[in-house]
Amino acid sequence: MSIPNPTGSRPDLDLHYTLPEPPRTVDPSETPAPGDLTTPQLPGLGSSVVVTQPAGPHRSPPTPGLPDVPGYDLTGEIARGGMGVVYAARERALGREVAIKVLLPGLAANRQASRQFLREARITAKLPHPGVPPVHAVGTLPDGRPFLAMKLIHGRTLAAILTARAQRATTESISDLELTAPDAPGLLLVFEQICQAVAFAHSLQIVHRDLKPHNIMVGPFGEVQVMDWGLARVTPRKPRFDGETVVIPHPPLSATNLGSSGTQHGAVKGTPAYMPPEQALGHWDVVDERADVFALGGLLCSLLTGSPPYTGDNVRAVIAHARAADLDEAFARLDKCGASENLVRLAKWCLSPDPARRPTDARAVASLVELYRLSHEDQLRKFEKDRAAVAGAEAVARWANLRASTLLCNEPAAEGMSELCRRLLVGVAAGLTIAGGIAYSLWAHGLIRVP
């Protein structure tokens, strides 16, 4: 079973990007040579950079078919989407591997697409978190298209992991994340890391608005990266401090503010299969941190059931389900998935159609997932302790039974033993055997716990 892709195109590269600031040209003398650690400090990420560098011994000729990106040697295409393409590359100045995102040639004259392209760099520059891939630099190609130089992420998308798990393909390097249990500890830890990265963004009032398995990368050691911040926005509300905690006010979803001025009715931005109703309806003035919470609930739904909250034969059908908050089928799948009742309840809570009924932000979700995970791990430790105790009791019973049999069969020892002693030994052995069996039965039915 594979994860449905309602958009009909590669969703792991939904690049929605926009126009850079006027580029600043850097003199070739300022560009460090490979291995030179005494060169001037590289410019910051706040402005666009064009590195002009004459051909020389450190400059490789452009690879045929790949764009000529100043300061980088492109080695091949990684992925392509409806608005952009990602290449693997090597940065000449530092010799490190990077990913280069470039706007498609057909959008070079689209100022809105170019402005949105650069937004990702500005947003991620505000998110110094291990779960958010850093942008190293921004710039402009000779043909005027903007590009981003980002950390090259090794691993697979969460969508690929879920598809492989559904197909029981557990032979790859991250097989510990592909356990068949719907709430396997490995996948739960991945989800917790996603929540933590999004929670950090929420603490800075940044909303992702396009969380989905294709935008989550999982590394070979289970590390998580939340990708594609091209649709992210900074919410205009200011936190309110009540003396102990920071409280972010949220307007309730109602017919009044849904129809207020400033909304973009009918505009759909994001992935409908994981989209809250307010976002599917285009009511952007009420799309805030709780929209990401809904998407987190959708991710949890995918982890537990193998499918997103909304499915359909085409994108129009999925959008219709999202706008109507038609979650009956998703909730029925959650009820039958076999996962812990607490996880199912959390997924349904996050998927509440009314934003006011969802957890406030990703931090609240991350805290609940952490509590569940720690409790689950504690239960596993108790299970192992109980199993060891029962195994020990059975071993003692077997030893006592064997010892009694040995004594009774040893004629010299038996000659000096009274009939009463022999009966006592047989009774003790039988009693220990029965006690071990009773203890095992009680433990197996969850009626005893060993402290």
Active site residues: 210
Task: Tell me the backbone φ, ψ of residue 181, rounded to 5 degrees.
Answer: -65, 135
Burial of 295 per CB tally in 10 Å (0-12, 13-18, 19+): buried
Q: Which amino acid, 440?
A: Y
CB atoms within 10 A of CB 326: 15
CB 152 within 8 A of CB 95: no
Structure token digits, residue 406: 């040995």
Query: Of 17, 232, 219, 220, nearest to 131 (Cα)?
Result: 219
Question: What is the C-alpha separation between 288 and 30, in angstroms, rounded?
Answer: 42
Residue 99 contacts residue 150 (beta carbons within 8 Å): yes
Rounded CA separation 223/190 (Å): 7
Strand 146-151 to 156-157 pairing:
unpaired
Give the count of beta carbons closer than 10 Å to the beta carbon of residue 165.
21
Beta strands 206-207 and 216-218: pairing type?
unpaired
